[in-house]
Chain A
Amino acid sequence: MAKSTPIKHSLVPKHTKMGERSVKELLEKYNISKVQLPKILNNDPALKGLGIKVGDVIKIERKSLTAGNSEYYRVVADATKVSGTSGGES
């Protein structure tokens, strides 16, 4: 399992690291700052082998059920700084 290639699975869409210029264009287009983007943790298995660091923006090309293909953006966050209180009582 110690491969650095991205996982091939029907549930995992394509993740790509965005260049600095395209990040700037994206933020300008929606008039937002990086913190307002949804997050993805830096230990996410889908990011393996992309060479990411905290603060990078990841472009995700989803196969949407409504729009065919759709693009989504997430900013890489540090996993160690997250509270870790996900989920509910069980």
Chain B
Amino acid sequence: MAEFDDLFKKYEGLIPESLLNDVKDHLPAKVKKSDVQKILEKLHIEYELAKIDAGESVGLIAAESMGEPGTQMTLNTKHAGGVSELQVTIGLPRLIEIFDGRKQLVTPSMEIYLSDKNPSPDKVSRIAAKIKETSLNELVKTIEVNVADATIEVDLDKNLLAKYGIRTQAIAKALQKGLKNVNVKVKEDSLFIKLTKEGEELNKLYALKEEAKKTFVSGIKGIKQVLPVKKGDEYVIMTAGSNLKKVLTFEEVDSYKTKCNDIFETLKVLGLEAARQLIIEEAIKVLEDQGINIDIRHIMLATDIMCATGEVKGITRYGIVGEKSSVLARASFETPIKHIIAASERGEIDKLSSVIENVMINQAIPAGTGLPSLRIKSEGAVKK
């Protein structure tokens, strides 16, 4: 369709790119230039008609469009999606989590893609084992207290060490770092842990043994569970727990595609726009899982509001509602008395410039036809 390029170019910026591409894809093999011109003219008119009018209450429409299908969603989170699947929050609780801007997720998780696009299943599980947060307990055959020498003897499992790709020396180092007042010695596949302070009682030694078991020796902190799965042609490691910053530095990890479901972690590591994109993707994922059809424009609007101040703010009285300039608007959402008392203490003035406060005092609201100044310039219009 190269001969129409100049024609399409003319409409760039007037019609969205996706629509132009649609037209390009659906043009019949033989078509006259004048016809293409006519198509584009008509499309432009239709597009302008489809645009929402200035002053329309888009937020209200978005709220209703999301609120009603929300009542149809799963309320039960305890249900596991499959046998070997990791547990992930789904349905309404997850949607609330996303839009409230919760910082502590119920089930943080990651989707780790590999830089090697065609690895052997063996290699995948090796990488997965390397990423997983591992404590000493998982690597030992036996761990015993030798009462006579006042030492803890750790017998490491050779096969597991090979599988996780950890050396005995590294474990000894991690133990030395993780435990206080101890001396760790290596002898082949065994470790001997001794308290440095002489004359300590035995029960201290037993406590130390329990502590040693829980000591973090390898992997990435925060990744509690790993599950390699095949997604299409690609291997993906799903995890419970997340640590985006650390995982992205891993050589074996595709740092372009790897994601986590924690919005605030993404905000910190990849920035505001990435967080915005993630909110949209996560919200769509929840809704699609539930078989609910909401136009994504509603979600995008809500997300843009959440991200407007440079931070991610939830749709709560602490988040975007707390940003409203009007006292009455804030009070009408939640905890009215608190807001009104605090406002009177500060001597706040309500300029009645938005919708809710005007509904409350029975005045024409500045929305739709109540907002003519968006469309026309009148002589007496007050300049703000």
Chain A contacts to B: CB under 8 angstroms = 1, 7-13, 15, 38-41, 44-47, 60, 62, 64-70, 74, 77, 79, 82, 84-90
Contacts and interface: CB of A to CB of B under 8 A. Distances in A.
Interface string B277-313: 1101000000000000000110010001001111111
Residue among B274, B310, B312 with the most chain A CB within 10 A? B310
B20 to A, nearest CB: 8
- The bracket for how many chain B residues form the interface is 35 or more
Nearest to B309: A39
A75 to B, nearest CB: 9
A66 B18 contact: yes
Contacts of A89: 316, 318
Contact of B274 (A9, A79, A82): A9
A9 B275 CA distance: 12
A46 B264 contact: no
B277 to A, nearest CB: 5
Given A38-B307, A62-B277, 8 more contacts: A9-B256, A40-B271, A44-B271, A46-B273, A66-B16, A67-B17, A68-B16, A86-B319
Interface stretch (B95-103, B152-160, B199-207): B95-103
B259 interface: yes
B255 A39 contact: no
A11 B268 CA distance: 13
B167 interface: no
B264 to A, nearest CB: 7
B27 interface: no
24 contacts: A1-B245, A7-B270, A8-B256, A9-B270, A11-B273, A11-B277, A40-B273, A41-B310, A46-B270, A46-B274, A62-B273, A64-B18, A65-B300, A66-B300, A67-B16, A68-B17, A68-B18, A68-B20, A82-B309, A82-B310, A82-B311, A86-B312, A88-B102, A88-B314
A52 B257 CA distance: 27
A85 B103 CA distance: 11
B104 interface: yes
Contact of B101 (A7, A70, A87): A87
Nearest to A45: B271
Contacts of B319: 86-88
B269 interface: yes
A27 B256 CA distance: 34
Contacts of A41: 272, 310-311
B322 A38 contact: no
Task: Count chain B CB atoms within 10 A of each CB in A12, A41, A74 and give the residue with the most.
Answer: A12
B278 to A, nearest CB: 6
A15 B311 contact: no
A41 B264 CA distance: 14
Contact of B102 (A12, A40, A79, A87): A87
B335 to A, nearest CB: 12
Contact of B322 (A8, A70, A85): A85
A13 B273 contact: yes
Contact of A10 (B17, B256, B272): B256
A8 B308 CA distance: 23
Contact of B18 (A10, A39, A45, A67): A67
A19 B312 CA distance: 27
A51 to B, nearest CB: 16
B313 to A, nearest CB: 5
B16 A46 contact: no
Nearest to B264: A87
B101 A12 contact: no
B266 interface: yes
B101 A13 contact: no
